[in-house]
Protein backbone atom coordinates (compact mmCIF):
# COMPACT_ATOMS: atom_id res chain seq x y z
CA UNK A 1 0.00 0.00 0.00
CA UNK A 2 2.86 2.35 0.81
CA UNK A 3 4.49 1.74 -2.57
CA UNK A 4 1.22 2.41 -4.40
CA UNK A 5 0.65 5.63 -2.47
CA UNK A 6 4.22 6.77 -3.13
CA UNK A 7 4.51 5.80 -6.80
CA UNK A 8 1.05 6.41 -8.31
CA UNK A 9 0.24 10.08 -8.77
CA UNK A 10 -3.20 9.70 -10.37
CA UNK A 11 -5.62 9.71 -7.44
CA UNK A 12 -8.39 7.79 -9.21
CA UNK A 13 -6.02 5.07 -10.37
CA UNK A 14 -4.44 4.94 -6.91
CA UNK A 15 -7.83 4.41 -5.26
CA UNK A 16 -8.69 1.61 -7.68
CA UNK A 17 -5.35 -0.08 -7.09
CA UNK A 18 -5.71 0.12 -3.31
CA UNK A 19 -9.29 -1.19 -3.57
CA UNK A 20 -8.08 -4.14 -5.65
CA UNK A 21 -5.35 -4.92 -3.10
CA UNK A 22 -8.02 -4.93 -0.37
CA UNK A 23 -10.39 -7.13 -2.40
CA UNK A 24 -7.91 -9.91 -3.24
CA UNK A 25 -7.71 -11.47 0.27
CA UNK A 26 -11.45 -10.99 0.74
CA UNK A 27 -12.39 -12.71 -2.53
CA UNK A 28 -9.53 -15.26 -2.39
CA UNK A 29 -8.89 -14.78 -6.11
CA UNK A 30 -7.45 -12.06 -8.33
CA UNK A 31 -10.09 -12.70 -10.99
CA UNK A 32 -12.96 -12.46 -8.49
CA UNK A 33 -11.41 -9.32 -7.00
CA UNK A 34 -11.16 -7.76 -10.46
CA UNK A 35 -14.83 -8.54 -11.08
CA UNK A 36 -15.80 -7.09 -7.68
CA UNK A 37 -13.83 -3.94 -8.51
CA UNK A 38 -16.48 -3.44 -11.20
CA UNK A 39 -14.23 -1.46 -13.53
CA UNK A 40 -14.17 -2.06 -17.28
CA UNK A 41 -10.56 -1.03 -17.80
CA UNK A 42 -9.02 -3.46 -15.31
CA UNK A 43 -6.08 -3.89 -17.73
CA UNK A 44 -5.12 -0.27 -17.03
CA UNK A 45 -5.05 -1.01 -13.31
CA UNK A 46 -2.98 -4.15 -13.82
CA UNK A 47 -0.64 -2.22 -16.12
CA UNK A 48 -0.09 0.34 -13.38
CA UNK A 49 0.86 -2.49 -11.00
CA UNK A 50 3.35 -3.74 -13.59
CA UNK A 51 4.87 -0.26 -14.01
CA UNK A 52 5.71 -0.04 -10.32
CA UNK A 53 6.72 -3.75 -10.11
CA UNK A 54 4.08 -4.61 -7.52
CA UNK A 55 1.61 -7.48 -7.50
CA UNK A 56 -1.92 -7.01 -6.18
CA UNK A 57 -1.62 -10.44 -4.53
CA UNK A 58 -0.78 -9.87 -0.88
CA UNK A 59 1.22 -12.03 1.53
CA UNK A 60 -0.66 -13.33 4.56
CA UNK A 61 0.24 -11.88 7.97
CA UNK A 62 0.91 -15.42 9.15
CA UNK A 63 3.97 -15.70 6.91
CA UNK A 64 7.32 -14.36 8.03
CA UNK A 65 8.13 -13.19 4.47
CA UNK A 66 7.68 -9.48 3.85
CA UNK A 67 8.91 -9.32 0.25
CA UNK A 68 9.04 -11.73 -2.68
CA UNK A 69 10.99 -11.12 -5.85
CA UNK A 70 8.80 -10.78 -8.94
CA UNK A 71 8.20 -13.93 -10.97
CA UNK A 72 9.10 -11.92 -14.07
CA UNK A 73 12.46 -11.06 -12.50
CA UNK A 74 13.19 -14.77 -12.06
CA UNK A 75 12.28 -15.45 -15.68
CA UNK A 76 14.38 -12.51 -16.83
CA UNK A 77 17.35 -13.78 -14.79
CA UNK A 78 17.06 -17.21 -16.44
CA UNK A 79 16.97 -15.65 -19.91
CA UNK A 80 20.05 -13.55 -19.16
CA UNK A 81 21.97 -16.61 -17.93
CA UNK A 82 21.31 -18.41 -21.21
CA UNK A 83 22.89 -15.58 -23.25
**71-82 pLDDT per residue, tens:** 667 777 766 665
Q: Which DSSP state fits 83?
A: -
User: What is the helix (H) or strand (E) element at residue 47, kind and residue range?
Assistant: helix 42-51
Q: Is the pTM of this model over 0.85?
A: no
Burial state string for 43-61 with b = 16 or more CB within 10 A and e = fewer than 16? eebbebbeeeebbbeeeee
- Give the tens place of pLDDT for each residue, 15-50: 999 999 999 999 999 999 999 999 999 999 999 998
Amino acid sequence: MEIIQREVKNMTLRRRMLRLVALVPEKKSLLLAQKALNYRKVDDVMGAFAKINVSPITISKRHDVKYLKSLYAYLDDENNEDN
